[in-house]
Each structure stands twice: as C-alpha cells, then as structure tokens.
C-alpha cells in the first residue's frame, strides 16, 4: 500500500494552532518554568578583549545577601568530556568550554557566574567582584590582523574555494562590459524578542534536565551530554516555545553549560538568562563581510564571467566562515567562468555564527547590487538583465533544478509593482519634493532536508497525537505540521495534536537552514504510512471486516479516517474496535539522501520603492513586493508571514543594523535596542507577498521547499538598488545611513 498525500488541510490559511496559548500568556517559554527552589545565575563578562585574568577577588561578592556561590575558572567543576566532544552530533560553535582557563579571547567572554536566591541579588553581587587582568593588544578588524588570513577548504560541508572555466582569461576578453566593486556589510547581531536562557536542574548526580531556549533540542542534548560525560538519555532538553531565533539558538552557547555547572555546585535548579546586553557577545552574530565582485557580460547582457572574493572575520574560539559565495554567485546565474573564494581573519570578538541565511544573505546583497551596477554599465533595465540570465541548471553542478519558476516571480512581481512605468535614469522619478527610487533583486535559498522520526498515536474516536523533537521558532511550524499530519494520516485537522520541543520525542533536526517543514513533513508522511499498514494488517486479520480477504497492496487511505481497496472500505475506528483496541501507535521517518541528478533551490524576486528627502537625505521604504517560488505552500498565512519577516529584516540590514565595537575596550558599543537599530513599525510599509510555482514532488511528498530564510536574501540589495535609483549615489557599505548619502 502507499500513502498518497491529498491536500485538504494543506494549503489552507489556518491561523496558528498555538496562537491562543501565545496571546493569553499560557505558552510557557523555557525561562518561565519554575522548578521548586529555583536559584538565579548572573553572568559576568570580561571587560578586556585579550589577555588573561591575573586574579579575581570574590570574597565580598560571596558574602553579599542571597549569594549561594561565585563560580570562576578557579573553582568551576572540571568537566571530563571526551576529546572528540566537538563531534557530538549537536552544534557547539564556540568550541571553548566556559571558565576552562584564565585566558581572555574577546570582550564579554564570561569570567564568572554569580548564583543567588534572586536575580537582583546575583546582579548586585556581580558588581562586587574585583578582577585584575593582564592586558594584551587586541585585534578588531582585518587590518589589525593581516597575518591571521586563512582560506579554509570547507565549511559545514560546502566547498569554499571553487572555480569553473578560466576566470582571468574570461575577464580579460575584449568587447565585454565589466564592473568590479567591493561591498561591505557590518557586524549584525541577533535580537529575537526572547533572549537566550537556560534553567538547569539535576534530579540526581547522573541526570540533568535543561529548560533551554534552543532551535535544536536533540543537538543540545548531545552537546551537554558530551560535555558532562553523561549518557545521552540522561540529559533532557525541554523547549516547547521559542520567541524568535534566526540561528542564534542553534548552537549550545557557554551560558547553557554555565547553568548546568552552577546547578551542580549549588545543588539547586539554576536559571541563567542572557541579558539583552550579553546577547551582543554571548550568542553569535553575523560577522562583517568584504566582498569584491567582478562581472563581465556581452552586450546582450549574457554573463561571461563571475568572480566573487569574500573576506570575513571570525573569533579565536571557533571556526565560523560566513560563506558569501555559497548560495549567491554559485547558484544565481550561469556563466562560462565562475570563481569564488573565501578568506577569513581571526580577531578578538565573540564567536560569529548562523544568522538568517548565513552566507546567502550578505552574498546575495553584494551579488544583486553588482548585477544592478552591470545593468547600468550595459544601459539595460535591471530586470531585463536578470531575465536574460535566468538559467535552468545549477551553474556549478550542471544539473537541472527540480522546479524553477523564477521567471514567473519576475513577471508577477513586475506586474504587481508596476515596474514598466520605471524611468531608467537615476534621480529621474519624483513625488513632489521627494526623490523616488525603484530597485529590484533576486532572492534564492537552497532547499534542505535532513533526518527525522515521527511517532503517531491514534485514539479510536478521538485525538491523534503526533510527536517529533522539532521546534517552532515562532514561524508557524506547529500549524504546518498539524496540517501535514491531518492529510497524511487522514484525520480532520482539529483532531491532530502536534507535540514538539522535547528531547524525549523521536529525532528532529536543528530548526535551521529552512529545513523543518520538508524534513518533519516527510517523516510525518513516512510514519502515517506505517500507521496505515498496521491498520490494514488489523483489518485483513479480522474476518468480520469489510476488507477481510482484500488484496493488501490495494489498500489505501480513501477518505477521512477510512481505508479501502477500491470497492469496499472501513473506518479506522471500526478496525480498532474489531481488534479490541482503544488506540494504535506507529513510528516512521526519513534519512537524508543526496540527489545527484537534481538541484533543489527556491527563488524569488523583490521589488522595492524608496523615497529620499533631498534635504534631509532620509530614506524611507514606501512599497515592497516579494514573489516567491517555494514549491507548494503548506499555509499561505504563516508562509506569507515568513517572507514578510525576512523582508523586514532585510530592510533593517539595508538601512539600520550595525554592531559597533569600541576601539578602546573591544566591547560592542551598541548593546541595547536603543543603540542597535532594528526596524520598527513606522519603518515598514505594506509588504505584498505572493507565491508562484508548482509542488516540488521530486523533493518531498508535500512538494514544499523551506521559507525561513529566502525572504531576507536579496532584500537588502533591492533597497540599496532603489536608493541608487533615487539618488544616483551608489553606497556599497551597509547600512545606508544618511551620512553616506551626503
């Protein structure tokens, strides 16, 4: 038998199944759990960027009211983790175990955790520490650290230095139109509404429970089990709700290990919340990038050569590469010669890490601005240049895309936006005294699918409970999984209860790389098939059943809660009744398999209008249209919000976000939401989102590709290109603040 997925619930704009819990405050986020006797930990960060702790005087702090313990490198429990702990299966992007020695690698590195009965007592005592440092000269920029340049071969399975054709010769050919420019993006820092937090509780010396704000419960379980040398099943991670994440909650950061250490010492549960200030050094960021792109095209606009050299920074405590060439110039357009390279410099800043479309996001910003510059060098409409270079194949792998409807994205977007009314010359469109600019850019993100298992428990005449150790970052995953479960199992959507966010459940991957719906959805379909096989087996074994004597191969889901063989059918409930059962369980899943014959990639198009005040030089985004091809849309309401959120973040990247480091201390100087600007409601116009395309059944049985990250790709370029069109000024250094338009 086979389970064919017929969409009933899938495709409906269902409101979030967890919406009521969230708006009534009933949804419990990890920091809101209250194990009895809960103590509070407060983290203290280093005020120097490089050197060593000579001494920490804790005597006054230890005597302060409510203080239970002061942990530093001098007295933390020594961890006995095995030497291969980095390969636990989870993600520990900052490789150093916190408090492991006196060495300081970056400003903000945790040097102590104060544990007290209340948060206020712990924070007060933190001010009583006396720390003496040995200060060394530190590096913050690549100019500070030229000798640290490295060209790593690989990062997260992607080849970082690649070429096709003879790039130097291709760029030197006569009669080509060429541009070569350098684009830079600043450090950008994660600011989800929910800051990271961990509550650690040791029920006994061999068992650890963590309520942890994470995108990866199974990964956190693996990393923490390794670090404390415990069997994996002795560590439980609980995280039913996440208040935004965007990558910062994928790895296990030092505060999580610190919470477990602190709880071990004080023999009480301990909560550590990463303050908004410490989020700027404690949970990753997008490092600054410097990208030099050379493009050459024949007069008709056909690309002949693409060269993309990226440089970026990393920290001394990990090996992150912001892979700008991956997911941008390696997939966007084809050319006879393509080359990209990555050079990484090590400086004394905290560990950079995943941030929404890591690599693809700054990469598409630079690549799509370069395309705009090439369009102007050619005297060609920027949209026309994209249409000329739309390619059916993966440019480097040479295989066809599974499905690609980028042309339709361009056409629908242009139509909705009114692109044909655009005047090409910069500064030529006005609205009263304001200059109007229209810019566009291509969006793209790979479709990923990893391993997952799903457990189903179907109750006769009642609810169906479906479980996977997956996550809902606020994206609507609970709802999408509920819809897929309903159709795959064949039950009404209101009868499905989907549970996630616990390491007790069957394996779910990190909620990253926009993979969750494709991965968990495929596992749901596999588990549903196992359930149907079990039910069919029961029906065939029951002499009273209408399906007694039917051909097993012919039995399939024929309607809500019904199996049939084409002529006769029986309900799930009658099957269970006939077998004397009140419920039935099944488990199934998928394993990642590489498809060498097809490329799986989503594409889209952004169209942006800005207006610029000629006297104040203030830029406002006034219209935005995004059209995406992500295969079948499981839920247009939550899916549309994903794209909208990506565009908002892209507008912030173009015009506002910038983590500034203090040259004196090495600390981020922008460490709160007053200094670190993200878009507020007044910065954001109505954003129109449309979906086009067709289900991508070569990718998975739902036909859907991920949506978490594609919205931000290209979005900043669309804004930057619109600013150029309005002003004639090409700012190649984000964010585009008004001083750069002078």
Residues near ligand MOS (CB under 6 A) are 215, 245-247, 250, 354-356, 358, 512-513
Query: Is 361 within 8 Å of 190 (Cβ atoms)?
Result: no
Tokens matching residue 334 = 């084809």
Nearest residue relative to ligand MOS (C-beta): 247
d(CA 555, CA 622): 56
Shortest spacing between CB 29 and ligand MOS, in angstroms: 17
Shortest spacing between CB 598 and ligand MOS, in angstroms: 22
Nearer to ligand MOS, 357 or 524 (CB): 357
Query: Is 572 within 8 Å of 561 (Cβ atoms)?
Result: yes
Query: Is 671 within 8 Å of 280 (Cβ atoms)?
Result: yes
Nearer to ligand MOS, 356 or 671 (CB): 356
Q: Residues 407, 412, 417, 422: what is their CA dihedral angle, to the nearest 10 degrees? A: 40
Catalytic annotation present for 694: no
Nearer to ligand MOS, 250 or 679 (CB): 250
Question: Apex CA 76: angle with CA 72 and CA 80, to 5°?
Answer: 140
Nearer to ligand MOS, 201 or 322 (CB): 322
Alpha carbon separation from 383 to 63, 254, 419, 500, 720 (Å, rounded): 68, 46, 9, 43, 15
Residue owning tokens 């309900």: 571
Query: Is 703 within 8 Å of 635 (Cβ atoms)?
Result: no
Alpha carbon separation from 123 to 49, 75, 132 (Å, rounded): 22, 20, 20
Helices of type H across 93-238: 119-126, 167-172, 217-227
Shortest spacing between CB 247 and ligand MOS, in angstroms: 3
Identified catalytic residue from 94, 188, 368, 709: 709
d(CA 650, CA 644): 10
Nearer to ligand MOS, 218 or 268 (CB): 218
Helix, strand, coil share of the chain (percent; to 5): 25, 25, 45
Nearer to ligand MOS, 652 or 695 (CB): 652
Query: Is 293 within 8 Å of 368 (Cβ atoms)?
Result: no
**Closest of 472, 454, 426 to residue 241, by C-alpha:** 472
Shortest spacing between CB 356 and ligand MOS, in angstroms: 5
Nearer to ligand MOS, 322 or 487 (CB): 322
d(CA 198, CA 273): 6
Tokens matching residue 654 = 């173009």
d(CA 719, CA 13): 29
Nearer to ligand MOS, 247 or 476 (CB): 247
Catalytic residues: 709
């Amino acid at each position: 038998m086979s389970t064919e997925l017929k969409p009933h619930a899938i495709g409906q704009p269902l409101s979030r199944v967890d919406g009521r819990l969230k708006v009534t405050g009933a949804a419990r986020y990890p920091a809101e759990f209250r194990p009895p006797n809960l103590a509070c930990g407060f983290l203290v960060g280093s005020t120097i960027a490089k050197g060593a702790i000579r001494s920490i005087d804790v005597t006054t702090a230890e005597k302060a009211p409510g203080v239970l313990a002061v942990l530093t490198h001098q007295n933390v429990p020594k961890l006995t983790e095995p030497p291969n702990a980095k390969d636990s299966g989870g993600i520990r992007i900052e490789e150093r175990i916190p408090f492991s020695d006196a060495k300081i690698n970056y400003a903000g590195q945790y040097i102590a955790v104060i544990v007290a009965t209340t948060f206020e007592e712990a924070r007060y005592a933190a001010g009583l520490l006396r720390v003496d440092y040995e200060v060394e000269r530190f590096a913050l920029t690549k100019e500070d650290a030229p000798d640290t340049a490295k060209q790593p071969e690989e990062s997260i399975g992607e080849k970082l230095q690649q070429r096709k054709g003879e790039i130097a010769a291709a760029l030197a050919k006569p009669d080509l139109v060429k541009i070569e420019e350098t684009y830079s993006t600043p450090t950008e820092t994660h600011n989800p509404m929910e800051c990271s937090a961990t509550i650690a509780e040791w029920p006994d010396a061999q068992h650890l429970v963590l309520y942890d704000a994470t995108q990866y419960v199974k990964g956190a379980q693996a990393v923490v089990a390794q670090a404390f040398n415990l069997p994996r099943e002795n560590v439980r991670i609980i995280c039913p709700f996440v208040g935004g994440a965007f990558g910062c909650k994928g790895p296990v950061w030092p505060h999580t290990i610190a919470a477990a250490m602190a709880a071990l010492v004080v023999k009480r549960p301990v909560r550590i919340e990463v303050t908004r200030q410490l989020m700027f050094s404690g949970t990753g960021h997008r490092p600054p990038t410097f990208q030099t792109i050379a493009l050459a095209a024949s007069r008709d606009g056909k690309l002949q050569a693409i060269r993309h050299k990226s440089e970026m920074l990393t920290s001394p405590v990990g090996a992150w590469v912001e892979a700008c060439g991956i997911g941008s110039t390696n997939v966007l357009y084809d050319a006879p010669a393509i080359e990209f390279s990555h050079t990484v410099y090590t400086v004394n800043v905290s560990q950079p890490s995943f941030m929404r479309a890591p690599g693809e996001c700054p990469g598409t910003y630079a690549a799509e601005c370069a395309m705009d510059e090439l369009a102007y060098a050619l005297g060609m409409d920027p949209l026309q240049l994209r249409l000329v270079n739309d390619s059916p194949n993966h440019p480097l792998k040479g295989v066809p895309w599974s499905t690609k409807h980028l042309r339709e994205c361009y056409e629908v977007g242009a139509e909705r936006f009114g692109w044909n009314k655009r005047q090409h010359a910069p500064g030529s469109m006005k609205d009263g005294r304001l200059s109007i600019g229209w810019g566009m850019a291509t969006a793209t993100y790979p479709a990923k699918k990893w391993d997952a298992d799903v457990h189903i428990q179907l109750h006769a005449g009642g609810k169906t409970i479906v479980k996977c150790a997956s996550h809902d970052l606020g994206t609507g995953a609970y709802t999408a999984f509920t819809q897929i479960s309903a159709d795959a199992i064949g039950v009404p959507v209101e009868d499905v209860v989907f549970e996630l966010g616990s390491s007790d459940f069957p394996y779910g991957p990190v909620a990253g790389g926009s993979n969750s719906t494709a991965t968990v959805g495929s596992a749901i379909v596999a588990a549903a098939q196992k359930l149907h096989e079990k039910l069919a087996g029961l029906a065939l074994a029951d002499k009273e059943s209408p399906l007694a004597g039917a051909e097993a191969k012919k039995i399939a889901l024929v309607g809500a809660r019904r199996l049939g063989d084409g002529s006769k059918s029986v309900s799930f409930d009658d099957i269970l009744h006939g077998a004397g059962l009140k419920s039935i369980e099944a488990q199934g899943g998928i394993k990642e398999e590489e498809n060498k014959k097809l490329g799986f990639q989503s594409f889209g198009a952004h169209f942006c209008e800005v207006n610029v005040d000629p006297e104040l030089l203030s830029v406002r985004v006034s219209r935005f249209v995004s059209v995406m091809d992500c295969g079948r849309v499981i839920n247009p309401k939550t899916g549309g919000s994903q794209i909208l959120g990506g565009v908002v973040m892209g507008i912030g990247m173009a015009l506002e976000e910038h983590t500034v480091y203090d040259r004196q201390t090495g600390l981020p100087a922008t460490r709160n939401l007053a200094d670190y600007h993200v878009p507020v409601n007044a910065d954001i116009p109505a954003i129109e989102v449309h979906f086009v395309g067709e289900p991508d059944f070569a990718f998975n049985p739902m036909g859907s590709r991920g949506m978490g990250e594609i919205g931000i790709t290209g979005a900043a370029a669309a804004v930057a290109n619109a600013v150029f069109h309005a002003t004639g000024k090409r700012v190649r250094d984000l964010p585009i603040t008004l001083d750069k338009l002078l």
